[in-house]
Amino acid sequence: MAEMKDMVNKVTDAIGGTMAKLGAASTTSADGFVEQAAIGDAYEIAAAGIALRRSRNDAVRTTAARMISDHTTSRHHLQAALEMNETRGVALPPDRLDTRRETMLEHLAEASEDSSTGLTRTNRSSPTRKPPPSCEATPKAATTRSSARWPSVRCPSSSGIWPT
Amino acid sequence: MTFNPLRERGIPLERQFRNWSELNVAPYDTHDVHPYTRARVIFMNGIEVEAIINSHQFARHTADTGIKQNLAMVRRVEQQQQKAVNWLIPGDESTIANTIGYEQVAVDLTAWLARQEPDPYLTRVYEFALLEDFDHLYRYANLMDLMGEGRKAEDITGGLTEIMPGRPTLFHHRDPHDTLRRPITLTAADTQSVMNAITIVAAEQQTMNYYMTRGNIPEDPLARALYLEIAQVEEEHVTHYESILDPTLSWLTNLVLHEYNECWLYWSCMQTEIDNRVRALWELHLAMEIEHLRIACEMQREIEGLDPESYLPAQGMPEPLTFESNKDYLRDVLRRTVDWAPYDARFVPVSDLPDDHRFFDFQRKVNTGGIPSEQVIERHRAEFGGEYRSVTEGDHPVESLREHGNHDRFPYLQTRARQSALEEA
């Protein structure tokens, strides 16, 4: 039964991921770009955070750390761009993820364990490993227009197991 | 007061070359020169150096012989202009005295740009680095005493720029990823923003190059150490500022903007110069630059089919760039931003950086084993019984940066203490 649920979630996520790419690619407005870019960064940071906390596989952890670093940089550049006159009038991004990404993160959190990739339950993680900094909090910037609202970066605690 | 160089007529290029004796100008008197005349000389030398480097880079990226020929002709004149300007600096002005002049340029130029900058993000970019150059002035002023210069830094600055700590230099050293900012675009940015950016890149680049080549002149190991430490910060500043430039410009657009910038700056110097002899030089060079701009515009029309008037302001530049005292503004920036730290392209209070942020790791790497910018103050206290400061407007606006303030309360130190406690735990 659990395997069936994992399978359904994976198919759903694959469709969701494709839709996200299509949505981003078809964006023609500044408002739409900002929304897609902000949500995309927030999702990638959160998803990588799950991997970083649950995996004992060095390759997975290295990739996850890089994802967090790169998407944090991307988010900061977008925030900086929104402080500039050039983007005056562009709508601020939503302050939370869209339903599709929320669901994808829930699926990741619920996913089953896979010993072949070293992904494991959160409570088996090494206690010496610290959570990634970017998952803990979004740094408060000097008071700016763009710091008012931003998709929160959350690293959902996972009691599930990584997809097989 | 506006100035549109596209509406002016310059000196034909073939009449711009000068002989050696014309270029070997009589230097100013280091004890008598107005601080802002010295500042303009240092500054415009940096502008000419950038013009030459930019022209060389363009020449290395084009196969068009016609363009190369035009670049070579104009560049030879720019080289002559650089000599005529830089040779105004006298041989009896020591490296450390000239360095005080360089830092006064950095402070009052950056402050003026920040005040005039129409873009709020770019204002933050200027204000952030302003406090770092402001601190460099204080460190070098203390070094100047230790080197036995025989005169105080305030004799160089004329009391027009206060000398006291800014954001302390030891905290300027950060991971290179955090020196990159968000770029402007020519199509959307105000022309003032474009001109400001080109100007500050040239000025900081000159300061970087100056410390790179002159920092090894002193014999005192501490002086050599301070120069190399601050030289590394100037590398950060060039990276910081060049990352706000529009990276999508064609080489010809970039050339036109550089020439336009030079016209605006020589006109600015001409408007504000009080030394008649130096003012005549600014006027002569302005007339030359107007022709350089015309040639660059003509190339763009012919080769790219693009009229520079389509992106240059029809009304010209509204205000001359002005070297003037910025004491109140500096104090306001100190109060508001002394605890800022960059996190990628953003500025956040240092206390908001994650505990394992790369900044702390980089600090550990370079600041282990003694920090010259701190040692110079410690040695000044030991030899003179206190620090050198030149303060005219009352106490330092940040209590923890006063000479007898509670230094442990400075936000960067508090964050470092918190981080050390976490590591021990």
- pLDDT at position B378 over 70: yes
Q: Which one is predicted more confidently, A53 or B224?
A: B224
- The per-residue pLDDT for B163 is 98
- Can you say whether the dihedral through the CA atoms of B182, B188, B192, B198 is positive or negative? positive
- Grouping H, G, I as helix, E, B as strand and the rest as coil, residue B347 is strand
| Exposure string for B259-268, b = 16+ CB within 10 A, e = fewer | bbbbbbbbbb
Contact A50, A101 (CB under 8 A): no
Residue B24 lies in a domain: yes
The total number of structural domains that make up chain B = 1
Interface test with A, best of B181, B192, B343, B344 (most A CBs within 10 A): B344
What are the residues whose beta carbons fall under 8 Å from the beta carbon of B158, sequence distance 6 or more?
B34, B35
Residue B385 forms part of a structural domain: no
A141 to chain B: closest CA residue: B348
pLDDT at residue A160 greater than cutoff 70: no
Could you tell me the pTM of the whole model? Answer: 0.89
Is residue B392 a part of any domain in this protein? no
Token look-up 């600015």 returns B268
B366 or A27: which leads in pLDDT: B366
What's the maximum distance between 2 C-alpha atoms anywhere in chain A? Answer: 54
Whether B413 is covered by a domain: the verdict is: no
Whole-number percent of chain B with pLDDT over 70: 100
pLDDT tens track for B315-328: 999 899 999 999 99
| The pLDDT of residue A143 is above 80 | no
How many Å apart are CA B107 and CA A47, to the nearest integer? 45
B19: containing domain: 5-328
Q: Does the pLDDT at position B227 exceed 80? A: yes
**8 A C-beta contact, residue B30 and residue B314:** no
d(CA B181, CA B121): 10
Contacts of B357 in chain A (CB under 8 A): 133
Confidence of residue A133 (pLDDT cuts 50, 70, 90): very low
A133: nearest CB among B181, B193, B355 = B355
* Average pLDDT over every residue of B178-207: 97
Q: List pLDDT tens digits, range A78-88.
A: 999 999 999 99
Which pLDDT band, with edges at 50, 70 and 90, does A111 fall under? confident
The DSSP code for A6 is H
Range B106-129 burial, b when 16+ CB lie within 10 A, else e: bbbbbbbbbebbebebbbbbbbbb
Query: Cα separation of B321 and B168, whole Å?
Result: 28
| Residues B288/B10, Cβ–Cβ less than 8 Å | yes
Mean pLDDT rounded to a whole number for chain A = 73
Query: Closest residue of A to B118, CA-based?
Result: A85
Alpha carbon of A76: minimum distance to chain B alpha carbons (Å) = 6
- Answer yes or no: is B19 within a domain: yes
Give me the mean pLDDT over the B147-173 stretch: 97
- Whether A125 shows a pLDDT value over 60: the answer reads no
Give which of B182, B335, B352 to mutate to test A binding, by max A Cβ within 10 Å. B182
CA distances from A1 to A6, A7, B183 (A): 9, 10, 52
Please check the confidence at residue A119 and state whether its pLDDT lies above 90.
no
Predicted pLDDT of residue A144: 52
Instruction: Give the pLDDT of residue B419.
Output: 81
